[in-house]
A and B are shown apart, each in its own frame.
Chain A
Amino acid sequence: MEKSHFSQSQGTRYSFAIALCIVTMLIALPVHDLLDPANIVMLFLLAVFITAATLGRGPAILAAFLNVALFDFFFVQPRLSFAVADTQYLVTFAVMLAVGLCTSHLVARVAERKREAEMREQQTLALYDLAADLGTSLSIEQVAERTGTFLHGIAFDATVLIAESVQGETSFREYGKHRLGRMEQSFAHSAYTNQTIVEADTLAGLGIAIIFLPLAAPVPVRGVLAVTPQTSDAELIRLHRPLLEAVASLIGMTVERLHHADAAHQSELKAASERLRASILSSLSHDLRTPLTTLVGLADTLVRKYPVLDAAALETANIIRDQAHAMHHLISNLLEMARLRDGKVTLNRQWQPFEEIIGSSTRLLAGILANRILEVNVPRDLPLVCFDAVLMERVVCNLLENAVKYSTTGAKIVLRVSADHGALEFSVWNAGSSFPAAPNDEIFEIFVRGEMNPAVSGSGIGLAICKAVVAAHEGEIIAENRDGGAAVRVRLPLGVPPEVQEEIPE
């Protein structure tokens, strides 16, 4: 395949070659008496050489043959005839032809090499430009546009395909003027999944993409470059294949860079919004807690005042204190829920015995549990469980508080823990009131309260927090009526606890 850097067509170049031979003949003709035939042969060989160097291989071969013919016809006795008197001239012809052909071959090859080198240099330069262009690209659209312009320059249409995974199915988002048909899609798919170049030369000239190059950045491959030649020349693809591979790899790296830049930007945004949220929550929590602390403390001071206040004032002070506590409890719950609802709570999960938080919960609630009969049922050999102690303590406390809230003075409350079938289960049961006929998941929704006793105060936030915490631990929470009371069961998955090396006895 020759692609001359000359602009002339094939025909013109052959005409030039013929003209050069004739000019050589016309120069030699008037002086042939003065010159030795060997020198005339030299003139003709010079013509072949010039032809080879300037017009390429084909015209040079033509010139080699034509020169032998012209030499024979015009300069060898009998002249103006192809007949040869002296057979010595046959050797001259043969050598002349051979030298002509060799010259034309060698010179043309050097010229071709030079042209190829120039072309490669141009391509390299163009690749540099493309790389610089892609380096400043800010979006896939820009990448596709710049690649398209570049490949258009060497008579290709390009489509950049970026893989998108939706529910395990890979589909491509296409960037480029050429829309792929179904067959082309399947070629692209195969190039993408096998991470190899797929070619379909035999389909050249149909105006469809016939080479599919995976965008081979370092893993993972993120898409495919589909290239459609603008002519029917499949050879063109073969010639430019190294270039196309380089382009595909360039796009691959650019897409990878854009992907990471995008991910970094997204996570930056997310982190910023999380920081903001956390700081709002914490300052809100501080600002609400400060007046409440004062209120609780001042009411408490009144209650403890010596000499003792009169009965009515004392009761008022007590109510103020208790209500302030209740308010604090509600605010804590609301803030906790705001954190949990985000779904972004980082659990501080640690392997620990579950009984620890039972002890701490019942101690925290000692005041309100005082006039109920609490039965705690915990086997001695419970395995360690991996959970966030602070949050799980909140769950136990909320369930115990509910049990107190929905039962009467002196009622029995049972807290039971057991481990079986790969789960730790704990339940809080209270005698007396029960859930509506069929307790369902709804009662774990925020602000929904079981309608068993509308007179009991509550925000309906307690169970919602329980559910959120348990869900964050991949556990389940179930409300049920049994044994003449209401129960909430929580199941937490048991994992494999870390090994504990026993002491060597002394």
Chain B
Amino acid sequence: MSTSSPHILVVEDEPQIRRLICEALRGEGYTCGESSNAQDALALAAGNDVALVLLDLGLPGMSGNEFIQELRTWSQLPILILSARNAEDDKIGALDLGADDYLAKPFGIGELLARVRALLRRHGQDQDAAPTFQFGDVHVDLSRRIVCRGGIEVHLTKMEYRLLAVMLANSGKVMTHRRLLQAVWGTGHTEQAHYLRIYLGRLRQKLEVDPTQPKFFLTETGVGYRFQS
């Protein structure tokens, strides 16, 4: 990643929306690359020092999903998807393929910039992968396997702890049910989403102030979960 302003690649076939996004990003001091189709975008992603890809799923020609698949064969660049609100299957497909987050159209500029910042921050953190996390009054030390809340140690079962560790490791990213099940329970259990939901509910009860209105373990309805600190 360059030390100067991060370069963001915007892949969107609607020129008006592309222009709008780029203007907003430039206003925040980022530089922008634009592409109206996935083929050109792949070339741009390979050639430039790109920090993040903003990708519209409904592209003509090569689809957004094909783009993700192709890009993921050689790059772990963060990908933020732009998609219609009620197209859960598209979102899940893209996230399963390796996209990091999504934003439903129409979106506010503030929201867009917040997502971009979060993804860039996370991507920068990956290198030094801190073993400790602090959210609310909860402190987690992955190296010592200790979870404390308000200074008092909280007991987590083995699976609860594993789920917490995976969520924290992917902080800020939307994790689909399938990916979480795979990471925590193993590949043979991807159809047993109710386990995931029950264990996530227990984590909320142990670590959230109000489990019905979670602040950190957020539900992405119909898609999965996101940890946000």
List A residues at the B interface (Cβ < 8 Å).
285-286, 289-298, 300-301, 304, 321, 324-325, 328, 332, 335-336, 348, 350-353, 355-360, 362-363, 376, 378, 380, 384, 389-390, 393, 497-498, 500, 503, 505-506
| B-side contacts of A292, CB under 8 Å | 105-106
Nearest Cβ on chain A to B203's Cβ, whole angstroms? 12
| A-side contacts of B6, CB under 8 Å | none
Nearest Cβ on chain A to B88's Cβ, whole angstroms? 6
The reply to whether B86 and A294 form a contact with Cβ atoms under 8 Å apart is no
The reply to whether A293 and B107 form a contact with Cβ atoms under 8 Å apart is yes
A296 touching B212 in the complex, CB below 8 Å, given contacts A357-B221, A360-B219? no
The reply to whether A297 and B24 form a contact with Cβ atoms under 8 Å apart is yes
Interface size of B in residues (CB-CB distance below 8 Å): 40
The reply to whether B221 and A389 form a contact with Cβ atoms under 8 Å apart is yes
The reply to whether A285 and B84 form a contact with Cβ atoms under 8 Å apart is yes
| A-side contacts of B105, CB under 8 Å | 289-290, 292-293
Return 27 A-B CB contacts under 8 Å, by A number: A285-B86, A286-B58, A292-B105, A293-B14, A293-B105, A294-B16, A296-B107, A297-B24, A297-B106, A298-B20, A300-B110, A301-B24, A332-B86, A336-B86, A350-B194, A351-B193, A353-B198, A355-B211, A355-B212, A356-B201, A356-B219, A359-B214, A359-B218, A360-B218, A362-B213, A376-B212, A500-B194
The reply to whether A359 and B84 form a contact with Cβ atoms under 8 Å apart is no
The reply to whether A359 and B194 form a contact with Cβ atoms under 8 Å apart is no
- B101-136 contact mask (Cβ, 8 Å, vs A): 1 or 0: 000011111100000000000000000000000000
In the bound assembly, the distance between CA atoms of A155 and B170 in angstroms comes to 84
In the bound assembly, the distance between CA atoms of A389 and B108 in angstroms comes to 24
| B88 partner, pick from A286, A358, A390, A506, beta carbons under 8 A | A390
List B residues at the A interface (Cβ < 8 Å).
14, 16-17, 20-21, 23-24, 27, 58, 84-86, 88, 105-110, 157-159, 192-195, 197-198, 201, 205, 210-214, 218-222
Nearest Cβ on chain B to A414's Cβ, whole angstroms? 13
Nearest Cβ on chain A to B162's Cβ, whole angstroms? 10
Nearest Cβ on chain A to B56's Cβ, whole angstroms? 10
A351 touching B194 in the complex, CB below 8 Å, given contacts A297-B17, A297-B107? yes
| A-side contacts of B157, CB under 8 Å | 503, 505-506
The reply to whether A389 and B106 form a contact with Cβ atoms under 8 Å apart is no
| B194 partner, pick from A286, A363, A389, A497, beta carbons under 8 A | A497
Closest 4 pairs between A and B when the two form their complex, measured CB to CB: A293-B106, A390-B222, A296-B106, A300-B109
| B-side contacts of A355, CB under 8 Å | 201, 211-212
The reply to whether B58 and A301 form a contact with Cβ atoms under 8 Å apart is no
Residue of B nearest to A394 (CB): B86
The reply to whether B221 and A390 form a contact with Cβ atoms under 8 Å apart is yes
A301 touching B23 in the complex, CB below 8 Å, given contacts A290-B17, A503-B159? yes
| B158 partner, pick from A300, A321, A503, beta carbons under 8 A | A503
The reply to whether B17 and A352 form a contact with Cβ atoms under 8 Å apart is no
| A-side contacts of B14, CB under 8 Å | 290, 293-294
Q: A286-B58, A293-B17, A497-B194 are in contact. List 7 more A-B contacts (CB 8 A).
A: A285-B86, A290-B14, A291-B16, A296-B106, A297-B108, A348-B222, A360-B219
In the bound assembly, the distance between CA atoms of A359 and B14 in angstroms comes to 34
The reply to whether B198 and A384 form a contact with Cβ atoms under 8 Å apart is yes
| B20 partner, pick from A289, A301, A359, A362, beta carbons under 8 A | A301
In the bound assembly, the distance between CA atoms of A371 and B106 in angstroms comes to 24
In the bound assembly, the distance between CA atoms of A286 and B157 in angstroms comes to 45
| B-side contacts of A348, CB under 8 Å | 88, 222
Nearest Cβ on chain A to B110's Cβ, whole angstroms? 7
| A-side contacts of B85, CB under 8 Å | 332
- Max count, chain A CB within 10 A of own CB: residue among B17, B105, B195, B221: B221
Nearest Cβ on chain A to B22's Cβ, whole angstroms? 11
Nearest Cβ on chain B to A185's Cβ, whole angstroms? 53
The reply to whether A304 and B110 form a contact with Cβ atoms under 8 Å apart is yes
- Max count, chain A CB within 10 A of own CB: residue among B14, B106, B205: B106
In the bound assembly, the distance between CA atoms of A92 and B97 in angstroms comes to 108
In the bound assembly, the distance between CA atoms of A291 and B106 in angstroms comes to 9
In the bound assembly, the distance between CA atoms of A15 and B84 in angstroms comes to 98
A359 touching B213 in the complex, CB below 8 Å, given contacts A289-B84, A294-B16? yes
Nearest Cβ on chain A to B181's Cβ, whole angstroms? 13
In the bound assembly, the distance between CA atoms of A293 and B210 in angstroms comes to 34
- Max count, chain B CB within 10 A of own CB: residue among A304, A325, A352, A500: A352
In the bound assembly, the distance between CA atoms of A289 and B218 in angstroms comes to 26
| B-side contacts of A321, CB under 8 Å | 108
Nearest Cβ on chain A to B10's Cβ, whole angstroms? 13
The reply to whether B24 and A352 form a contact with Cβ atoms under 8 Å apart is no
Residue of A nearest to B201 (CB): A353
In the bound assembly, the distance between CA atoms of A328 and B24 in angstroms comes to 21
A359 touching B212 in the complex, CB below 8 Å, given contacts A390-B222, A498-B194? yes
The reply to whether A350 and B193 form a contact with Cβ atoms under 8 Å apart is yes
In the bound assembly, the distance between CA atoms of A381 and B105 in angstroms comes to 36
The reply to whether A289 and B88 form a contact with Cβ atoms under 8 Å apart is no
A376 touching B213 in the complex, CB below 8 Å, given contacts A285-B84, A357-B219, A359-B218? yes
In the bound assembly, the distance between CA atoms of A295 and B14 in angstroms comes to 13
- Max count, chain A CB within 10 A of own CB: residue among B157, B192, B194, B195: B194
In the bound assembly, the distance between CA atoms of A40 and B195 in angstroms comes to 108
| B-side contacts of A363, CB under 8 Å | 213, 218
| B-side contacts of A325, CB under 8 Å | 106
The reply to whether A300 and B159 form a contact with Cβ atoms under 8 Å apart is no
A297 touching B21 in the complex, CB below 8 Å, given contacts A286-B58, A353-B201? yes
The reply to whether B20 and A389 form a contact with Cβ atoms under 8 Å apart is no
The reply to whether A296 and B108 form a contact with Cβ atoms under 8 Å apart is yes
Residue of A nearest to B111 (CB): A300
The reply to whether A390 and B219 form a contact with Cβ atoms under 8 Å apart is no
Nearest Cβ on chain A to B202's Cβ, whole angstroms? 10
Residue of B nearest to A336 (CB): B86
